[in-house]
């Protein structure tokens, strides 16, 4: 596997860092999650469990002097540290990048934060919706004359956060093969959200693709303003997704809907899009989703049913793992597929309990049973009672 032999310490956090660690693990890295000592079930525990498959967990109090020493020992044999905290948190613990790179010059220190460490927002808390709002991106995400709607927390947390950070880490690892030196990967979700949306900013004064500057959201080609790039409700209160932008796909859309092209406005007449939308809405409402799916399966129109997750797993099994683990929902397969990368055929590793591998990890790093017992007695570490160790 591409990242086999790379060792990662992931400090437990909410969605972005666990997803970044998941990507690295999926491509072969050995990921050890540094969990806090458990204090009861929390939202964070549920998040890290959902993104924890194949990782190992050590529960460690890094704020304590003894825990600090354990952490530094772990650092000595790892390639990457993944840190999800606000600016200054790790520095207060003397575990910031300056200290760790001095201790381990080849270390890749990945900081995954909302705003970074060198601007007026650095010390403020935030979530996905906030990072989108301050970047200007959230203002583009709405239907016409409605309030902005965040796309759950996929855009900043996962795309601009976990995914971009993983790319930054792999880039830094590649550069290390040439320089022999580690470095800091400073991944900021507010800036990352803007970066992955560069297309929207860069087309603001060109084609009517986006909804920036003076353009009204929900009136443009790709933001539901266009009647042949939108979703439509069917007779059974389900939906069909229509993306018939190119002329040949638009012609197939009209054919599938059974409409007379000559009686309709031209699709390039933007001022008459409302007429097309009304006709499409009325027509889609006349049949069920299954009916429309059967019709458009025979046409290349870029028209597809909006499936629920369980339906997607049944109808498109190539997207998901065949799983036999402790998670009830379908798990998407690792992407992209590398032709020379032997990825596992199924997701068979369970997500670790907090502290499940504490003892084995410490043994691996040279701690004796007596030293581990002392750390446990002093409440520096925690070993899950449900572990087989």
E strands along the chain, which residues?
7-11, 30-35, 56-60, 80-83, 108-113, 183-188, 229-233, 239-243, 303-305, 381-382
Q: Which of 68, 127, 291, 363 is catalytic?
A: 127
First to last CA, the chain: 27
SS (H, E, C) 45-79: HHHHHHCCCCCEEEEECCCCHHHHHHHHHHHCCCC
* Distance from chain centroid for Cα 114: 14
Distance from C-alpha of 58 to C-alpha of 69, rounded to nearest angstrom: 14
In the structure encoding, which two tokens stand for residue 10, read together?
């992931």
CB neighbourhood size of 128 (10 A) = 26
Q: Which of 157, 186, 223, 230 is catalytic?
A: 157
CB 105 within 8 A of CB 182: yes
Cis peptide before 284 (omega within 30 of 0): no
Determine whether 157 is an active site residue: yes
Angle at 355 (CA atoms; ends 87, 324), nearest 5 degrees: 110
In total, the chain counts a number of residues equal to 389
Determine whether 127 is an active site residue: yes
User: Which residues does the annotation mark as catalytic?
Assistant: 127, 157
């Amino acid at each position: 596997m591409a990242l086999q032999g790379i060792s990662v310490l992931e400090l437990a956090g909410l969605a972005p860092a666990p997803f970044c660690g998941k990507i690295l693990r999926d491509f072969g890295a050995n990921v050890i999650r540094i969990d806090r000592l458990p204090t009861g079930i929390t939202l964070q525990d549920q998040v890290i469990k959902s993104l924890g498959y194949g990782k190992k967990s050590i529960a460690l109090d890094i704020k304590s002097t003894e825990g600090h020493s354990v952490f530094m020992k772990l650092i000595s044999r790892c390639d990457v540290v993944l840190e999800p905290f606000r600016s200054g948190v790790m520095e207060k613990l003397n575990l910031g990048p300056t200290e760790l790179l001095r201790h381990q010059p080849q270390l890749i220190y990945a900081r995954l934060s909302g705003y970074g460490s060198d601007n007026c927002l650095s010390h403020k808390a935030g979530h996905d919706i906030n990072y989108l709002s301050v970047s200007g991106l959230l203002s583009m995400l709405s239907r016409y004359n409605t309030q902005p709607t965040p796309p759950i927390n996929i855009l900043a947390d996962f795309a601009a956060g976990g995914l971009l950070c993983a790319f930054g880490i792999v880039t830094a690892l590649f550069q290390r093969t040439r320089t022999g030196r580690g470095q800091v990967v400073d991944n900021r979700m507010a800036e990352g959200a803007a970066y992955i949306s560069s297309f929207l900013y860069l087309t603001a004064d060109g084609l009517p693709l986006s909804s920036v500057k003076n353009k009204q959201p929900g009136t443009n080609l790709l933001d539901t303003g266009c009647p042949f790039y939108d979703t439509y409700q069917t007779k059974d209160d389900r939906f069909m997704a229509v993306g018939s932008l190119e002329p040949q796909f638009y012609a197939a859309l009209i054919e599938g809907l059974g409409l007379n092209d000559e009686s309709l406005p031209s699709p390039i007449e933007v001022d008459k899009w409302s007429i097309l939308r009304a006709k499409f809405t009325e027509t889609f409402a006349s049949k069920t989703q299954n009916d429309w799916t059967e019709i458009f399966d025979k046409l290349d129109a870029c028209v597809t049913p909006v499936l629920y997750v369980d339906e997607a797993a049944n109808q498109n099994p190539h997207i998901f793992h065949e799983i036999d683990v402790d998670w009830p929902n379908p798990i998407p397969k690792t992407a992209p597929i590398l032709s020379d990368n032997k990825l596992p055929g199924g997701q068979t590793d369970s997500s670790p309990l907090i502290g499940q591998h504490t003892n084995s990890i410490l043994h691996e790093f040279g701690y004796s049973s007596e030293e581990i017992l002392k750390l446990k007695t002093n409440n520096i570490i925690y070993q899950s009672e449900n572990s087989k160790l």
